[in-house]
Structure 1
Amino acid sequence: MQLNATALALLGLLLAVWVAGAAWMMIAAGGKARKAEATRKAARRMVRMIDESPAIPVIVRVDGRIEASERLAGWLGLSKLPQYLSDLAGAEGGKGISPEQLAELSANVSRTQKTAAPFRMALTPPGSQRSLAVRGVLADPQVSPGGSALLWVFDFSESQNELSRLRSEAARAKGDFAALVGLIEAAPLPMWFRGPDSRLKLVNRAYVAAVGGENAETVVEQQVELVESVDGLTAAQVAGQAAQAKTPVERIVAATINGQRRSLRVSDLPLGEEGVAGYAVDIEEMEEQARAFRAFREAQRDMLDQLSVGVAQFGADRRLLSANQPFRRIFAMRPGAVEGIEFERLLRETREAGRTPEVRDFPAWRAERADWFLADEAVEEAWPLSDGTHLRIVAQPMPDGGLVLIAEDRTESLALSATRDTLLRTRTATFDSLFEALAVFAPDGHIQLWNRRFAAAWGLDQADIDGHPTADELIERIAPNLSKPKQAKAIGDVVRGATLDRRQTGGRVSLADGRTLEIAGVPLPDGNGLLTVLDITDSQNAEDALRERAQALEAADEVKTRFLANMSYEFRVPLTSISGFAELLEAGVAGELSPQAREYVGAILEAVHRLTDQVENVLDLSQSEAGLLPLAREKLDLLPFVTQVVREREAAIVDGGLSLDLRGGGTSKVEADPRQLGRAIGHLLDNAIAATPKGGKILVDLSRKKDGVRIVVSDNGRGMSKDELRRAVEGLRTGADGKPERRQGLGIPLARQLVEAHGGTLDIVSRRGEGTFATIHLP
């Protein structure tokens, strides 16, 4: 039982082991089957992938046999794939590959089989557009043992076409790049290229010349910049900013080129990740032209502002481009009005300001003025304004579609024209109303203007002048009316002198009817000549009469002179004789005289002295009035001289109980006749002594003034009224009956005559009860 149990246990154990082994074998078989199935699927998938792949594997054995997909035959244009490599040549109507390509392929395959060296080549079947690439390597022994060659054939027809196109484009681009490089090198403006780091990599010859470098390599190596730093940014930093912003940067900077400061327009153009290209255009001449244009424009505007005519320019868009100050003033434009206002709006605003004519339909009127922009020629209008202003408007269309509007204020010119017409009419009326005969001759000799008296003065008819004859023709007509026809030449000389020689001449002519005409030629400012003719017949007769009277007066003056000389002799000789005989009697020559006789002789001498003084006064006064008073001038020291004159009248002053105050400041010297000046001062002193009561005072004051010497003789006597002073100054005058009338003594008139003979003046002021104030002014 125990054996059986053990046997059963062993049997069970054996069965279990067997079952387990069977199960393991079944499981292993299932795994292998699954692996085989997976392998088959993978193989089918691999074969399918190889069939669908763009490359076809070809096994070329040592004997030349080939193993490949039938697709290769289709690529080569063959109906089926041949067994040997040598059969790939054109055996079917020139299809396959060419013998040359086959020979090259065979040589490459043989070399690979022997040396295991890979190769590459391209095949192009004849008559086909397909391009095949062949890559050959020694086949792995697991793939094909025995030294076979594995060829991978690729169809790169599209790639080849693309590659050909790219090559063509590359060649063209290379040529274009070479041409561009040559163009850049030959460009007259500096050009450069910067890398991504903003450093110079390429510059052209113009850049090298601009920075004064030796060559491009040196300039690039030394990083010589053409443009200086601006606002703290270098040219490289500006290029970096352009690259970061991926936006071209253009700026105008100044640079020194060949020792000259030039204005450059510098452009930095980002080229993606490649870098930044740049170029510089010299705009110095353009800037100079721009500055000159701006200066010209400013000068033109300043010049237009100085004109009295308003000028405005409108663009093709009918907007105001510019307007000078007279235009703004004429149309009352607002001070803050900016340029750019439309033409129609300007007309509306000027209408509101009352600077356009009053019209019934303003919109239609404005539309008509807007058509000025389309006119073929200039349009001119007259605008009368409500305030009396008259404007002359000229609209000149411009070739660019714009318009130049010119406004001229003709108010003043019209007023001047009216005034001129009035003046012309006034001149004509004035000419005709003058007593003189007038005529105006042009430089060519024709008579232009004349008054009504001109023809009558020469004895001509009005028809002789209406045709505006020349001066020669007019003289021919005048000559028969002259008393001496040869005087006609003198008239022509006067006209010629006024018109051509531009000098004033004159003369006199006598007419046959006895009249005398005085003619004068006067050059006028406008180039014409004025001939004036005045009938001086009456004045000539009066002149002759005056000449005869002057001759008579000269003869009377000579008689007067001789009379004064005779009277001087006739008066002085008897008085001298009487005085001499009286002095002899007084001296006792005729015997001793009794006291009464002596008294008579003294009275005779006193009367003789007084009569002598009066005769001297009368003669001096007569000679002074006749201008014949002789003066013996000499330099006098005035104070001692006047003191001597006062001393001579000391007795009379003392006898009259008067006091005399003589004043004299400084030294005063004058050129005068001592005798005559002493007599003048003495007469004033005598009058003062005679007019001053006892206890009175007389003042004699001498002073030097800027214009000469002043001598004052004043008293506080009884004085004179205005009538008394007038009679005292006039002295002896002729009355209404022609007889001499004695009014006062001759002292004051004689003193005045003597002072005036010295070139001085005598002023006398007197009031009744206050005294008399006499002032002598001597130069």
Structure 2
Amino acid sequence: MMSERKRGLFGPGADASTKLATQIRTTCVTRLSAIGNHAWRLRALAAGSALSAFAVPAHAQQEAATRLLGSSEVITFSVLIGVVSAALFSAIWMIRQRGRLEEEIGGLRATVSDAKHRNARLQALISDKNRRIIVWDGLSQRPEVLGQLPPETGAPAADAEFLALGRWLKPGSAAEAERAIETLRSQAQSFDLVVETGRNEIIEVQGRVSGGQAFVRFVALNNLRREVAELQLERDRLEQSVTVFQNLLDTIDLPVWQRSREGTLVWANTAYGQAVEARDAQEAVRENRELLPAVTREKIRAVSTFDTPFRDKVSTVVQGRRNFFEVVDALCASGSAGIALDISETEAVREELQRTLKSHAETLDHLATPVAIFDGTQRLQFYNQAFQSLWDLDTAFLERHPDHGEMLDRLRAAAKLPEQLNWRQWKENALSVYRAIDTQTDLWHLPNGQTLRVFATARPQGGATWVFENLTEKVDLETRYNTLLQVQGETIDHLSEGVAVFGPDGKIRLSNPAFRALWGITEAQVQAGTHIRAIEQACAPSYDGADGWKRFGQIITSFDDERPSYRGVLELHTGLVLDFAVTPLSNAQTMLTFVNITDSVRVERALTEKNDALRKADALKNDFVQHVSYELRSPLTNIIGFADLLKTPSMGSLSERQAEYVDHIATSSAVLLTIVNDILDLATVDAGIMELDLSEVSLADLLDDVSMEFAERLKDNHVSLEIVAPPSLGTIVADHQRLKQILIKLLANAANFAPEGTAIELKCWREERDLVFSVSDSGPGIPQDVLRTVFNRFESHGRRGGAGLGLSIVESFVSLHNGTVTIDSREGEGTRVTCRIPGASLPAIAAAE
């Protein structure tokens, strides 16, 4: 590990120096060995020659000297002398070369020792726990990481995790560091950065290039350097914030300015420059162009304090037109800053509103309906002649603008108001409209026999408008109509013919005892709301022919535009022969009549009378349904559309109260639309025509969608949602939309029961292929006698119960999935609703040929 760090520190130069020193050492040793061997041979040759000379006898030497005089001996001796001399010179030269090589080797050894020493010092420096270095060799993609950073910085110890800067640095710092490193490696551009880790620790990053290598050093800062770095970051943040706010102020259409202590302009936005007709804001500041009149500026300097800024409406000329501004100017240590809001259009609207109110008052004065308007202090501000005539009050008393409570006391003393056991409570309820948001409606039965419907509506400007509708004639008509219905009901019940009326959803609306007696069924088996299929099963013991109840069910639940009448004769197992008729009624209803042929004349007369009565009743019902379908749905559509239109910026800005009213309109319309849709869903299910759109549903995505869609409802109810589900719920084949409706309806029902500040638990799990989920709340629970009716329609048990269709829709949709619903509740312990949805299979789709 140490050798790898040294090689990584010195790079290719360190390996080259080491190899060169090794080669030089090897060459020198080889050459010195060769020189030594050669010199040894020369010494041996010279020594042998000398010994040979000394070993010759004297007479031989004399004889030899005589022979030396010859030419051949002279040549041989000369050659010998030359060889010895050359060997001596070579030995001397080699000795000098060897000395020179030893000096060079000594220098290289000193260099290597110095390099080792420097490597040790650098290694000790790198091993510091406060820095870490990344080294890239050229464009190599595998860097070498040296050193460590303190654990408190949050920097990973592993090299691979450390190189992933985005995992331990803040996103902004990580992006900036990665860009700087990329520029360093590609363009050799050095950099110095200060970054922040995920633990808010400060680290200094330096990038350099040296010898074809890129170095990036991460240094953990301490003490003074850390404080300086933090101050530098804080300064950068403040500069960015100031720039952002100045850019924001430059983009708004409201004039904004800043003044020095002497009152001269030091900064203004673009809107200010346009208002004072300058080419730009800088020119307005240089020329000290003023938007506000001198009197207003003097007033600002006189009344503005650090605690109380100046705020007033100011009239000034902008681009040749007189405009009204609401000016706010705040005093600060370096001077002051102000903003002007153009309220010219608001003032014009206010004047137009005054004219409109006056026009409305003139119109209301000519109406026959009594109308009275009270202000925010509950004093009478307007009344028409019909109001005065209704209560027979003195004009002098009304012109005094009496208090509403005083007026009610006076009317009670004159015995003109309904008699109440608790007058104070009744009076407080009547006056609560001044604190309410929605319109309040009540019926007053006056002592003189009149019946009034009272509408009390809070006004946007404060106060309330009271409208009195005389319902005396209408109530009388309704009483007579109800009496007629009772007489008709009694008549039908006493007919000897069997009669049953079914709605378009296939559920029975009414039946008489003769019908039950003819078919031998009980009243419970044909109670209102029972589907025709259940009645068919109850009547099967008496008659099971194909042209009987099955045919009746097809006709009754048919959606054909033309529904023809159907007549025939049935012979029952009991021996009775019945003449039946299937008669379509208005509003898509169908009437079944069964007549015993033995008494056909009497039955025909009674049936005719009964049929006329039912036609009248059905006509009234038809009128009511048409009124709901067209007169209610069309305004509801308009209300939703206009509410959304009012929210759009293109229609102009709304006041806070207007925006609140628009939100209430949109919310109420959405609730009403939800109720209508629920009723339509139930009607479709009851008619047996709803089909599931099966697909593969991701349960995790489904839970996410439900939690996001239900978040606003939970916020309104001041409760929270806890989802308990394993991470791998997988998928299930089901109808995504209906499954989502089931969850939302259950959560809405739990939100109605859950106390404020508590949590609703949604728990999901899998049991083999089945999906099981439960919704629990910690509410007051449901009494045992009420549990039997929780799935009935229009049964509401919560404090904000709604229409009472939620659990009915849940039961219907779960049944469509072949699932089951169970409910467990105890008083004081909360309620748990559990649903089991079995896994289905996707329908096979034949490929197109």
TM-score bucket of the superposed structures, by smaller chain: 0.3 to 0.5
Q: TM-score, normalised by structure 1?
A: 0.33
Q: TM-score, normalised by structure 2?
A: 0.31
Larger radius of gyration: 1
